[in-house]
């Protein structure tokens, strides 16, 4: 099983809504990531969890709140988002192989904020 | 600040043509990675190059790491419509907290027309 599963695949929300994005992997990877990606642009790192602890927060606004309940799950809680937050949100997990890192990405959640 | 400059940004070619995508930096990287992303999916790792001058082949794709480990290229021979996608190069850096993360080139959006 080499999959990272993200739900939902699509999400439309208003600026006053609260929603959550979910990510799951069962590869035993101990680092998980949230990225934001606009169309035809590279992914922008948001958060990194390593061994269930937040290790990187790329100065992301507090309306995005990550959570790592256990080593297989990663959530991103959304509240009071802005239209400019509309993007593809990607989750990834990391495997280290002979000193080289490999990221496994999910298919993403396409988020539209109205 | 380490940057990865990728060129060209957009490329539209006919099936059967060859192409080369470049990823350049003024900084030395311990390794560089190439990812391909298809519409509606997350990026998928194609290759990691770690040794200066290294050449790796993946079917019709040839990857090269520069001798000084500051640049890399991706050459596709006899492109096919299935090669269409966003090609991204990425390299590891350490942030102020000594946490490792990837920085990304801006990507090359490739369209191969039948």
Is pLDDT of A55 > 60? yes
Which of B102, B103, B109 would you mutate first to test chain A, the one with the most A CBs within 10 A? B102
Report the residue of chain A nearest B88, measured CA to CA: A42
Q: What is the pLDDT of residues A31-43, one digit of tens each?
A: 999 999 999 899 9
What is residue A100's predicted lDDT score, i.e. its pLDDT? Answer: 84
Contact A45 B42 (CB under 8 A): no
> What percent of chain A lies above the pLDDT cut of 70?
98
Residue-wise pLDDT tens digits, A68-84: 999 999 999 999 999 99
Give the whole-number percent of chain B exceeding pLDDT 90: 89
Contact between residue B69 and residue B52 where contact means Cβ atoms under 8 Å apart: yes
Chain A: residue whose CA lies nearest to B109: A40
Q: Which of A87, A104, A86 is nearest to A95 (CA)?
A: A104
What pLDDT is recorded for position B82?
Answer: 95
Cα gap A24→A53, rounded to integer Å: 16
How many helices (H) and strands (E) in chain B? 0, 11
Separation of alpha carbons A68 and A112, rounded Å: 24
Q: What is the pLDDT of residue B95?
A: 85
**B107 touching A (Cβ < 8 Å):** yes
CB atoms within 10 A of CB B99: 12
B102 with A48: Cβ contact below 8 A = no
Name residues whose C-beta falls within 8 Å of residue B49's C-beta, 6 or more positions apart in sequence.
B31, B32, B33, B56, B63, B64, B65, B72
Indicate the pLDDT class of residue A2, thresholds 50, 70 and 90: low
> Any idea which residue has 């192989």 for tokens?
A97
User: What pLDDT sits at residue A13?
Assistant: 94
* B71-76 sheet: strands from edge to edge: B5-7, B19-24, B71-76, B61-65, B55-58
The sign of the CA dihedral B104, A2, B31, A98 is positive
Mutate to test the interface with B, among A91, A101, A109 (most CBs of B within 10 A): A101
Rounded to whole angstroms, the Cα distance separating B37 from A80 reads 30
Say whether residue A101 is in contact with chain B using an 8 A CB cutoff. Answer: yes
Shortest distance, CA A5 to any CA of chain B (angstroms): 11
Of B40, B92, B106, the CB nearest to A107: B40
Nearest beta carbon to residue B101 from set A48, A106, A110: A48
Tell whether A73 is within 8 A of chain B (Cβ): no
**Residues B56-74, buried b or exposed e (16+ Cβ, 10 A)?**
beeeebbbbbbeebbbbbb
What is the C-alpha to C-alpha distance for residues B46 and B43, in angstroms, rounded to an integer? 9
Residues 47-66 of B with CB under 8 A from A: 48, 50
CA angle B94–A6–A92, rounded 5-degree value = 15
B86 shares contact with chain A (CB less than 8 Å): yes
CB contact at 8 A, B70 and B28: yes
* Interval A34-57 mean pLDDT: 95
């Amino acid at each position: 099983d080499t999959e990272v599963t993200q739900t939902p695949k699509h999400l439309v929300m208003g600026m006053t809504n609260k929603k959550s994005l979910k990510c799951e992997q069962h590869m035993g990877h101990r680092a998980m990531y949230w990225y934001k990606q606009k169309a035809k642009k590279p992914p922008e790192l948001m958060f990194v969890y390593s061994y269930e602890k937040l290790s990187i927060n790329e100065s992301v606004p507090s309306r995005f709140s990550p959570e790592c309940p256990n080593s297989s799950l990663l959530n991103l809680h959304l509240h009071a988002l802005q239209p400019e937050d509309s993007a593809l949100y990607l989750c990834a997990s990391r495997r280290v192989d002979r000193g080289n890192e490999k990221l496994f990405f999910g298919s993403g959640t396409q988020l539209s904020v109205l | 600040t380490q940057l990865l400059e990728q060129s060209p940004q957009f490329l539209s070619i006919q099936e059967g043509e060859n192409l080369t995508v470049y990823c350049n930096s003024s900084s030395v990287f311990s390794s560089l990675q190439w990812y391909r992303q298809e519409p509606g999916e997350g990026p998928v790792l194609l290759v990691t190059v770690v040794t200066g001058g290294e050449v790796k082949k993946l079917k019709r794709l040839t990857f090269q790491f520069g001798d000084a480990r500051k640049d890399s290229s991706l050459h596709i021979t006899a492109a096919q419509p299935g090669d269409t996608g966003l090609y991204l190069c990425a390299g590891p850096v350490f942030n102020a907290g000594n946490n490792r993360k990837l920085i990304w080139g801006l990507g090359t959006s490739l369209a191969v027309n039948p």
